Amino acid sequence: MSEENRTGPSRRQFLTSAAALGAGSVAAGMARAQTPDPLITEIQPWAQQFGDGVDATPYGLPIRFEDDVIRRNVPWLTADVTSSINFTPIHALDGTITPQGCAFERHHSGAIELAKPDYRLMVNGLVDRELIFTYEDLERFPRENHVYFCECAANTGMEWAGAQLNGAQFTHGMIHNMEYSGVPLRTILQEAGLSAAGDLKDKWIYVEGADASSNGRSIPMEKALDDVLVAFKANGEALRKEHGYPVRLVVPGWEGNMWVKWLRRIEVSDGPVESREETSKYTDTLADGTARKWTWVMDAKSVVTSPSPQSPITHGPGALVITGLAWSGHGRIARVDVSKDGGMTWETARLAGEPGNRALTRFYLDTEWNGEEMFLQSRAMDETGYVQPTKTQLREVRGLNSVYHNNCIQTWWVKPSGEAENVEVS
């Protein structure tokens, strides 16, 4: 039997496919360099002299080559002089932790500067003892550390009517994920005594910030006593001013608006206050004109961060790392699927590390790109069995009058050139 007549791949075919495989592999990366490669064969200037001394800036900044990994805003979103929203560059980050320096911010009346000596936290209402804490008082309670995502309810809010913003930073960047150090709110409420509150299951707390907006929100007691943190550190260091220095509330899995910054007051009450921020704002109108009430939890969601419009493919066909983020306000991510054909077929992605509880989960699909166009999507499933909906499914239930809680599947049209665009598939 001649070699050609054998079943299975011939040796020549084998070599061809191996070469194709190599195109995107590390070997191909080496092939791009000159031979001999002066970066290997010649002693470079940086190896012929002393480098700089320890950083002249006492608090270090990223290397200048990374100066495009920055928060950005969308000028037409906030027409006023002071922008009140910026977006995390999720297209350029990896892993799961968001450095504070590139975490999105959202302020309703600007970021305030509140020094620790001027900080007070008041607990009042249906408690045995109305109390006022200083910052130092809070530091004397037992602390915990937890990683949680904080997603603004308006994240992806511009995309209801159609594909609008060209970049994962803009469509999905109102999210950050940090490790918080703080005191469980439960501990502080217990210190004030809750017996005056009677049956706790019907009770609420009302939380407000020290800024002019106060951003007051009502939280049911069950959540308040569960996992809410009164936090003062993020990723090991003090909260940045813009994230609520010196103290903010962390409300795991619930919409970012409830994460009150510059926390100044907690009132235990019989019912919700129904403040502006939880009635005319942070409420969605449905197609029939009625509104959804108390939409606190951020449902499971995911997005491919690369390739994406701001992170195009810059190499030819062959090995390609598709990566993104998934999260659920209901707990842990169970699975993420990725589609290259707009949702017709799916491959299960690899979750990097153990998915955290109400924290961002990084996923990877280590794949081969054939150089053709792709309609890239990701679809998250959480531990409750909930599956991230398509845009069509979400619109069927919610109509088109929503702003908040858009957790639909996102599509990036990746072209043969490697460039990507925000599109919708039907």
Range list of H helices, 97-254: 135-139, 168-172, 185-192, 221-224
Query: Is residue 107 a contact point for ligand MTE (CB under 6 A)?
Result: yes
Q: What is the C-alpha to C-alpha distance for residues 29 and 367, in angstroms, rounded to an integer?
A: 16
Q: Is 209 among the residues that bind ligand MTE (CB under 6 A)?
A: yes
The residue length of the chain stands at 426
Q: How many Å apart are CA 369 and CA 21, to the nearest integer?
A: 10
Please tell me whether residue 148 binds ligand MTE under the rule CB under 6 A.
Answer: no
**Minimum distance from CB of 214 to ligand MTE (Å)?**
6
State the binding partner of 203 from ligand MTE, Co ion, none, CB within 5 to 8 A by kind.
none
**Which residue's structure tokens are 């509880």?**
357
16-35 burial string, b = 16+ CB within 10 Å, else e? eeeeeebbbeeebeeeeeee
Residue 241 DSSP symbol: G
Cβ closest to ligand MTE, residue 123 vs residue 197: 123
Region of 125-133, 252-260, 294-302, 333-341 interacting with ligand MTE (CB under 6 A): 252-260
Question: Per rule CB under 6 A, is residue 104 in the interface with ligand MTE?
Answer: yes
The distance of closest approach from Cβ of residue 310 to Co ion in the complex, given in angstroms and rounded to an integer, is 22
The answer to the question of residue 108 lying near ligand MTE (CB under 6 A) is yes
Tokens of 418: 């490697």
Choice from 215, 323, 378, 390 touching ligand MTE (CB under 6 A): 215
Q: Return residues touching Co ion (CB under 5 A).
A: 106, 152, 256-257
* C-alpha closest to that of 326 among 387, 376, 273: 387
Instruction: Give the binding range for ligand MTE (CB under 6 A) out of 38-46, 160-168, 255-263, 330-338.
Output: 255-263
The reply on whether position 406 binds ligand MTE by CB under 6 A is no
| 211 contacts ligand MTE (rule: CB under 6 A) | yes
Q: Which does 330 bind (CB under 5 to 8 A by kind): Co ion, ligand MTE, none?
A: none
| Residue among 257, 264, 276, 258 at smallest CA distance from 124 | 264
Q: How many residues interact with ligand MTE (rule CB under 6 A)?
A: 21
Give yes or no for residue 377 binding ligand MTE (CB under 6 A). Answer: no
C-alpha to C-alpha distance for 310 and 232, rounded to whole angstroms: 33
Question: Shortest Cβ distance from residue 15 to ligand MTE (Å)?
Answer: 53
Phi-psi category of residue 92: left, alpha or beta, with phi > 0 → left and psi -120 to 50 → alpha: alpha
CB of 90 to ligand MTE, least distance (A): 13
Per rule CB under 6 A, is residue 143 in the interface with ligand MTE? no
Strand, coil or helix: 330: coil
Q: Which is nearer to ligand MTE, 224 or 374 (CB)?
A: 224
Contact call for residue 223 and ligand MTE (CB under 6 A) = no
Nearest to 383 by CA among 403, 364, 365, 357: 357
- How many CB atoms neighbour CB 165 within 10 A? 18
CA angle, residues 322, 328, 367, in degrees to nearest 5: 15
Are the beta carbons of 192 and 128 closer than 8 angstroms? yes
- For residue 106, state whether it binds ligand MTE (rule: CB under 6 A): yes
Residue least distant from ligand MTE (Cβ): 209
Per rule CB under 6 A, is residue 262 in the interface with ligand MTE? yes
Q: Which residue is nearest to Co ion (CB)?
A: 152
CB of 292 to Co ion, least distance (A): 16
- Which residues is 324 bridged to in the sheet? 304, 363
Q: State yes or no: residue 261 binds ligand MTE (CB under 6 A).
A: yes
Q: Which of 102, 152, 185, 326 binds ligand MTE (CB under 6 A)?
A: 152
Question: What is the C-alpha end-to-end distance of the chain, expressed in Å?
Answer: 52
Stretch that binds ligand MTE, among 101-109, 119-127, 340-348, 382-390 (CB under 6 A): 101-109
Nearer to ligand MTE, 152 or 381 (CB): 152
**Residue 408 falls in which region: left (phi positive, over 0), alpha (psi -120 to 50) or beta:** beta
What's the CA gap between 398 and 377, in Å, rounded?
A: 21
Q: Which of residues 56-95 bind ligand MTE (CB under 6 A)?
A: none
Binding site for ligand MTE (CB under 6 A): 103-108, 150, 152, 176, 209, 211, 213, 215, 242-243, 256-257, 259-262
